[in-house]
Structure 1
Amino acid sequence: MSVAKVIEISSSSSKGIEEAVRDGLKRASKSVKQIRGAWVNDIKVLTDGSGKVTEWRVNMRVNFELE
């Protein structure tokens, strides 16, 4: 039998959504073991004065197995 837990984290990247997700999971894996997946709940962008995207932000729920 396995038991899982879900936490919510936020991450950002100037390059794109995939990198924001990847970096968030990489950082989470330093303190959380047995990560099994994530759900992206929310995507937000920051822009400069001309409307150019300067930063991508994601909020995600991360699922991991308890030992």
Structure 2
Amino acid sequence: MAILKVIEVLANSKDGWEDAAKNAVEQASKTVKNIRSVYIKEQSATVKDGKLTDYRVNVKITFEVS
């Protein structure tokens, strides 16, 4: 039986939501091992002069505890 743990991570990117999610996983993987999945909980963005300037995601990252 595997034991899984879930953490919530906030991340952002200038390039898009997909890139923000990648940033979340890359940063989490620096200290968390055995990451199995990522769930995009929320997406948001900031707007300046009528254009999207910063993409943000709130993700849940699931990893196996050894």
* Runs of 5+ unmatched residues, structure 1: none
Paired residues, number: 66
Offset at residue 18 of structure 1 (A): 0.8
* Runs of 5+ unmatched residues, structure 2: none
Q: What SS is found at the alignment partner of 2:15?
A: coil
Offset at residue 51 of structure 1 (A): 1.6
TM-score, normalising length from structure 1? Answer: 0.95
Which structure is higher in strand share?
2
Percent identical pairs in the alignment equals 36
- Which stretches of structure 1, 4 residues or longer, exceed 4 Å deviation after superposition? none
1:1-67 residue pairs with structure 2 within 5 A?
A: 1-48=1-48, 50-67=49-66
Query: Which amino acid is 1:40 matched to?
Result: I
Query: Which amino acid is 2:53 matched to?
Result: T
